[in-house]
Chain A
Amino acid sequence: MANTLIDFSNSLADAVERAGQSVIGVLEGGQRGVSGTLWRAGVAVTAEHTIRGRQEVTVALPAGGTAAASVVGRDPSTDIAVLKLAANDVAPAQFGDAAQLRVGHLVLAVGRRGEEGLSTSYGVISAIGGPWRTWQGGRVDRYLRLDLLPYPGFSGGPLVDVQGHVLGINTSGPRRSVLTIPRSTVDQVVKQLLEKGHVARGYLGAGLQPVQLPAAVQQTLADKRDVGLLIITVAPDGPAERAGLLIGDVLLAIDGNVLTDPAHLQATLDPDSVGKTASVQILRGGKPTDVNVIIGERPRRE
């Protein structure tokens, strides 16, 4: 009889079962409930966008039954929310080594369908990339592209390897794709959320728009480039205003990093940029000028 095949089948089911001991259902998440993953004792993570505006949620536990959980922090930029569970008998996830992952490795997305039980879908790692940024400015350590069709309600559940070890948290990407926030990024976000309730982001307090620079101005610039970022709004009493930046100034560089797209600025406004002084090169009255700006912390949406 087919031994390897049956062993393989059983080991996949074992992996789902093992991982499932740390997977909870978040009943109010999304339209019909989503998933969550026990990250440490009494602390779970889920997909932030699915529980926006909620302070309390009900979770379905691996052993059966439900418990109350409170939302103690949320980071929309990486789509991670941290829940504290009243029930503390749920086993925290066992983690796998994402650094060992290779293209072609088999992975499973595990979820919990409310009190109905576990769900899964399987696939392979189709590409691995370096650090990237979400469009909300969140910094993610690694890019994982999957060939995997997500089962409904998978958001907030773990991506696991064939041993059931957690590699990251899944959320929904564009066109029904899966985005996996790798474990190391989730670790950092969870740490900050538990300490402060939010993830600090650098803030300039200026609205920007890319503009074409006049040919005459281009010639005066060392790199002869043709695009800058025009300041179109300045937040009252924000870092930009306090540094004396004006509407109509054109940003050219920050700390030597050339700015031709607002995303370039986002990339420099990391959590650790807050409170530091940055040297900003601007174009004012057709002439390049340097201004020192103390990077603030982005005000939180309430």
Chain B
Amino acid sequence: MNPFEPVSISLGGELAAVAERLRHCTVEVRGAGPGRGSGVIWRSDGLIVTNAHVATSARHTVELADGRIFEAELLRRDSRCDLAALQIAASALPSAESRNASSLRTGELVLAVGNPAEATGAFTVGVVSARPKPTDVLVRADIRLAPGNSGGPLADAHGRVVGINSMVVGGFGVALTSSAVERFFCGDKKRSIVVTLRRVRLRIGGLPAFGLMVVELEAGGAAHLSGVLVGDIIVRVNGKSLNSPEQLSDAIQAAAHAVSLEVLREGRREALEVALAWESIAEVA
């Protein structure tokens, strides 16, 4: 480096170079609607990761940084973790290098590329505002993001992807960590009956009791197939009264093939057998 050159000049040049590299592994994702989002080339054989809230259509097209446009196949979509996987028929693509987000330091530079409003491949710079713990699925950054950034990369100063930009909360960018993406791809080994639950307090036979109300059901999920309805309140699992949400998830993980639930439905108790079908959860890897 020229000793007389201001540091801001080399900084600017290097920033432009890493932005360019990051742009090459960022794609534009379009569905049936007018909106568009971003995606990251996760593997050079055409595997693209984006947000579930970006890939909401039956058909998607993916436009690469070099201008090529592909029809994409939706491999997997999980609205609870807000991730989706698309496959395009291409090879030797510039895939993203990833870095575990829990190794980030607070204050470290982060970079984002996305497609907000009319811009394509828009680049923003910020810092990690709070370092994620190894168990965290989100990384928060002081970086300017817009809706079209969703699904696009959050990367470190080397250009290594640490997360998928997913939300803006209070002006701060929130990205799903690279490890959340890895877990999503290798088919989270935890089982699920695919319901969203909410804690409720009840009185059963005059005594205070705990229950979990089903507020959302994924179509085709284990609970749905076994006849669970939205509004059911789960009060017992495998014959034991329920005291915590963990008790239910533990029972599901421990079960051989099924869990028996007792639910309150229209004020009456009903027994349901929920079969746990692994194969209902599509696997990618």
Determine if B70 is an interface residue (Cβ-Cβ < 8 Å).
no
Determine if A9 is an interface residue (Cβ-Cβ < 8 Å).
yes
In angstroms, Cα B141 to Cα A9, docked, is 14
Query: Which residues of B are found within 8 Å of A15, using beta-carbon distances?
Result: 107
Q: Please, what's the 1-or-0 string for B8-39, where 1 marks a CB less than 8 Å from any CB in chain A? A: 00110011011000000000000000000000
Choose the segment among B60-68, B114-122, B126-134, B205-213 that binds chain A (4+ C-beta atoms closer than 8 Å): B126-134
Query: Which residues of A are found within 8 Å of B156, using beta-carbon distances?
Result: 9
Sorting the interface of chain A by its residue count into under 10, 10 to 19, 20 to 34 or 35 or more gives 20 to 34
Residue of B nearest to A20 (CB): B106
Query: Which residues of B are found within 8 Å of A149, using beta-carbon distances?
Result: 142, 171-172
Determine if B219 is an interface residue (Cβ-Cβ < 8 Å).
no
Query: Which residues of A are found within 8 Å of B157, using beta-carbon distances?
Result: 2, 5-6, 8-9
Query: Which residues of A are found within 8 Å of B129, using beta-carbon distances?
Result: 119-121, 151
Task: Assess whether A117 is in contact with B1, with CB atoms less than 8 Å apart.
Answer: no
Query: Which residues of B are found within 8 Å of A10, using beta-carbon distances?
Result: 108
Instruction: Select one of A12, A13, A116, A122 contacting B130, CB under 8 A.
Output: A116
Task: Assess whether A5 is in contact with B108, with CB atoms less than 8 Å apart.
Answer: no
**A121-B142, A122-B127 known; A151+B1 contact, CB < 8 A:** no
In angstroms, Cα B127 to Cα A149, docked, is 12
Q: How far is the CB of A215 from chain B (nearest CB, A)?
A: 52
Residue of A nearest to B107 (CB): A16
Determine if B199 is an interface residue (Cβ-Cβ < 8 Å).
no
Query: Which residues of A are found within 8 Å of B3, using beta-carbon distances?
Result: none
**Cβ < 8 Å to B, chain A residues 6-30:** 6, 8-10, 12-17, 20
Determine if B170 is an interface residue (Cβ-Cβ < 8 Å).
yes
Task: Assess whether A119 is in contact with B106, with CB atoms less than 8 Å apart.
Answer: yes
Query: Which residues of A are found within 8 Å of B133, using beta-carbon distances?
Result: 116
Task: Assess whether B18 is in contact with A119, with CB atoms less than 8 Å apart.
Answer: no
Determine if A81 is an interface residue (Cβ-Cβ < 8 Å).
no
**A118-B130, A118-B131 known; A4+B14 contact, CB < 8 A:** yes
Determine if A3 is an interface residue (Cβ-Cβ < 8 Å).
yes
Instruction: Select one of B7, B17, B130 contacting A151, CB under 8 A.
Output: B130
Task: Assess whether A13 is in contact with B14, with CB atoms less than 8 Å apart.
Answer: no
Task: Assess whether B170 is in contact with A108, with CB atoms less than 8 Å apart.
Answer: no
Q: How far is the CB of B133 from chain A (nearest CB, A)?
A: 8
Query: Which residues of B are found within 8 Å of A9, using beta-carbon distances?
Result: 108-109, 156-157
Q: Please, what's the 1-or-0 string for A79-118, where 1 marks a CB less than 8 Å from any CB in chain B? A: 0000000000000000000000000000010000100111
In angstroms, Cα B130 to Cα A108, docked, is 13
Q: How far is the CB of B263 from chain A (nearest CB, A)?
A: 35
Q: How far is the CB of A157 from chain B (nearest CB, A)?
A: 12
Instruction: Select one of B105, B140, B142, B170 contacting A122, CB under 8 A.
Output: B142
Determine if A1 is an interface residue (Cβ-Cβ < 8 Å).
yes
Determine if A152 is an interface residue (Cβ-Cβ < 8 Å).
yes
Task: Assess whether B158 is in contact with A151, with CB atoms less than 8 Å apart.
Answer: no
Instruction: Select one of A4, A5, A16, A152 contacting B170, CB under 8 A.
Output: A152
Task: Assess whether B7 is in contact with A4, with CB atoms less than 8 Å apart.
Answer: yes
Task: Assess whether B127 is in contact with A120, with CB atoms less than 8 Å apart.
Answer: yes
Query: Which residues of A are found within 8 Å of B11, using beta-carbon distances?
Result: 4-5, 8
Query: Which residues of B are found within 8 Å of A20, using beta-carbon distances?
Result: 106
Q: How far is the CB of B19 from chain A (nearest CB, A)?
A: 10
Instruction: Select one of B10, B107, B126, B130 contacting A4, CB under 8 A.
Output: B10
Task: Assess whether B142 is in contact with A16, with CB atoms less than 8 Å apart.
Answer: no
Residue of A nearest to B15 (CB): A5
Q: How far is the CB of B52 from chain A (nearest CB, A)?
A: 26
Q: How far is the CB of B171 from chain A (nearest CB, A)?
A: 5
In angstroms, Cα B156 to Cα A10, docked, is 11
In angstroms, Cα B126 to Cα A12, docked, is 11
Task: Assess whether A117 is in contact with B106, with CB atoms less than 8 Å apart.
Answer: yes
Task: Assess whether A13 is in contact with B10, with CB atoms less than 8 Å apart.
Answer: no
Task: Assess whether A113 is in contact with B105, with CB atoms less than 8 Å apart.
Answer: no
**Cβ < 8 Å to B, chain A residues 106-150:** 108, 113, 116-122, 149
Chain B residues engaging chain A, CB cutoff 8 angstroms? 1, 7, 10-11, 14-15, 17-18, 105-109, 126-131, 133, 140, 142, 156-158, 170-172
Q: Given A2-B18, A4-B14, list of 16 further CB < 8 A pairs?
A: A2-B17, A5-B15, A6-B157, A12-B107, A13-B108, A17-B105, A17-B106, A116-B130, A117-B130, A118-B130, A119-B106, A120-B106, A120-B127, A120-B142, A122-B107, A151-B130
Chain A residues engaging chain B, CB cutoff 8 angstroms? 1-6, 8-10, 12-17, 20, 108, 113, 116-122, 149, 151-152
